[in-house]
Amino acid sequence: MKNPEEIKEIRSKLNTSELADLQWLNTELTTFLATDDVSSEGVTKLENMVTTLNNFRRTYTQRVMRLMKAAHMVD
């Protein structure tokens, strides 16, 4: 069983996969903004970004839910 300090540390850190996804999204959005062409390639890039963001949001929400279940140990 984890102590409150371990739970707080887990809560405050994103893992390397999540950080990589966010970095990729940042790069893709920057590239997308720099390119002002409207094309099917742009739609594909947007769809990929939306999918990545939705996956990130899903895992982030699951982590928050797990922490809420363990809240009796934090506060």
pLDDT of residue 36: 82
pLDDT of residue 12: 67
pTM summary value = 0.74
DSSP letter for 70, please: T
Mean pLDDT by 10 residues, the chain (75 residues): 68 85 95 90 95 95 82 55
Report whether 6 contacts 69 (CB < 8 A): no
pLDDT of residue 34: 93
